[in-house]
């Protein structure tokens, strides 16, 4: 058992010394390549239950391979960890990392429900540690541009929002189809839900929701929800792991629309496109490429070094967790033809 401790001492105030707790695909494909390009962080070690897999990661990205998550947390040369483990492992290992005095950047969502997220957020606050949820898309500059347009009154007051994120079925045995992975709302539904919070605020009521759950797999595969603000703006959200790929959202205001064409998973090399439609005409605006994974890492490092709340922390984590709970509570099961 790791004893509870305060944040580990910063030796030189240089790059945040990171360990990776797990060898997930998202770390290999996106986060560790982004880490290599950010001077604010330095990869020290990768921990895996399979030492050969840890070595595969460190041969490509640097650092030392470590067999076992516990041994990684015991190292005295790291001050923070990135946690890309399956959802059901988030809560226990994030808690262990915090009690070991380590700052934590955890893959989204932090946990599967509000109660467990509250425990971890409270613990991080008590220990004076940074706990950040890596819902990286909100750190992409294209969404800042959209918010600037909305704040400037380009489309007037938002009347409705539509957000859709889905991808085709993965091969059998994929972690997403196991209860350890949390199902579709945790894997992909959090993106449309967070979009609604981003543009419509925190006072969202869930008017209705539905999910398609596979009883054999024990997880939900897709879903939809209808939300509304007290002022009457609505959000229609759809997500799933059994669709053709789609990753977009649309804001419909009293004076026009803004459509974000590749909202949630653009690669760092992609120049995003947003469409603006008003009475003055239609504009297709191309924006500079941006790396939202790298941006999250930079924000995390800044929070670790300064203690500042730079977002994706505390209250933001809990608002998303609370909305997920509300959707699950209202969701009804969707039938399928082969279910009859």
Per-residue pLDDT tens digits for 246-290: 999 999 999 999 999 999 999 999 999 999 999 999 999 999 999
Alpha helices, DSSP H, located in 39-113: 51-61, 69-74, 87-99
CB 324, CB 189: distance < 8 Å: yes
* DSSP-assigned beta bridge partners for residue 281: 278
CATH 3.30.360.10 fits 141-289+323-339, yes or no: yes
Q: How far apart are CA 252 and CA 255, in angstroms?
A: 8
Flag whether pLDDT at 7 surpasses 70: no
Residues catalogued as catalytic: 108
Q: How would you classify the pairing of strands 158-166 and 281-286?
A: unpaired
Three-state DSSP at 337 gives: helix
Residue 136 tokens read as 């990286």
Residue 9 has pLDDT above 80, yes or no: no
What's the CATH code, domain 16-137+295-308?
3.40.50.720
Cα–Cα dist 40/285, whole Å: 31
Sequence-ordered list of residues with C-beta below 8 angstroms from that of 295, at least 6 positions apart, any chain: 136, 139, 140, 141
pLDDT of residue 3: 45
For residues 12-36, give the mean pLDDT: 93
Q: 158: pLDDT confidence band, cut at 50, 70 and 90?
A: very high
Average pLDDT, the chain: 93
pLDDT at 328 over 70: yes
Give me the pLDDT at residue 334, please.
Answer: 84
Does the pLDDT of residue 338 top 70, yes or no?
Answer: no
Longest Cα–Cα distance of the chain, Å, equals 64
**pLDDT score of 339:** 52
Mean pLDDT, rounded, for 300-320: 94
Q: What percent of the chain has pLDDT over 90?
A: 86
Q: What percent of the chain has pLDDT over 70?
A: 95
Residues 173-200 have a mean pLDDT of 88
pLDDT tens profile 47-71: 999 999 999 999 999 999 999 999 9
Is residue 2 pLDDT above 50, yes or no? no
Strand order in the sheet with 131-134: 64-67, 41-48, 16-21, 80-83, 103-107, 131-134
Q: Is the pLDDT of residue 1 over 50?
A: no
Burial category of 62 from C-beta neighbours within 10 Å (exposed 0-12, middle 13-18, buried 19 and up) = middle
pLDDT mean over 186-215 = 96
Residue 214 has a pLDDT of 87
Domain-by-domain residue ranges, the chain? 16-137+295-308, 141-289+323-339
Residue-level pLDDT at 128: 97
Mean pLDDT of 212-238: 94
């Amino acid at each position: 058992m790791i004893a509870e401790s305060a944040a580990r001492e910063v030796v030189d105030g240089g790059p945040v010394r990171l360990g990776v707790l797990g060898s997930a695909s998202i770390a290999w494909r996106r986060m560790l390549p982004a880490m290599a390009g950010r001077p604010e962080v330095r990869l020290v070690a990768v921990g895996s239950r399979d030492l050969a897999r840890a070595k595969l990661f460190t041969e490509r990205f640097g650092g030392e391979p470590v067999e076992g998550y516990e041994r990684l947390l015991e190292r005295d040369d790291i001050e923070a960890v990135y946690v890309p483990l399956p959802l059901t492992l988030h809560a226990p290992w994030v808690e262990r990392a915090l009690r070991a005095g380590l700052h934590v950047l955890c893959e989204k969502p932090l946990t599967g429900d509000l109660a467990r997220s509250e425990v971890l957020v409270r613990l991080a606050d008590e220990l004076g540690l940074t706990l950040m949820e890596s819902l990286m898309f909100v750190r992409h500059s294209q969404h800042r541009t959209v918010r600037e347009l909305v704040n400037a009154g380009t489309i007037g007051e938002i009347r409705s929002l539509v957000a859709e994120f889905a991808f085709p079925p993965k091969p059998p045995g994929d972690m997403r189809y196991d209860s350890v992975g949390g199902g579709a709302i945790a894997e992909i539904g959090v993106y449309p839900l967070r979009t609604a919070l981003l543009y419509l605020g925190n006072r969202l009521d869930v008017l209705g929701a539905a999910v398609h759950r596979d009883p054999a797999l024990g997880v939900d595969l897709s879903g939809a929800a209808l939300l509304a603000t007290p002022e009457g703006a609505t959000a229609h959200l759809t997500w799933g792991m059994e669709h053709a790929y789609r990753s977009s959202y649309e804001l419909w205001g009293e004076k026009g629309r803004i459509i974000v064409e590749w909202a949630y998973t653009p690669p760092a090399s992609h120049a995003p496109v947003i469409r603006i439609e008003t009475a003055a005409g239609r504009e297709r605006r191309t924006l500079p490429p941006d790396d939202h994974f790298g941006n999250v890492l930079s924000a995390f490092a800044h929070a670790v070094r300064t203690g500042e709340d730079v977002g994706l922390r505390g209250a933001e984590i809990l608002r998303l967790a609370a909305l997920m709970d509300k959707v699950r509570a209202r969701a009804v099961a969707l039938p399928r033809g082969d279910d009859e």
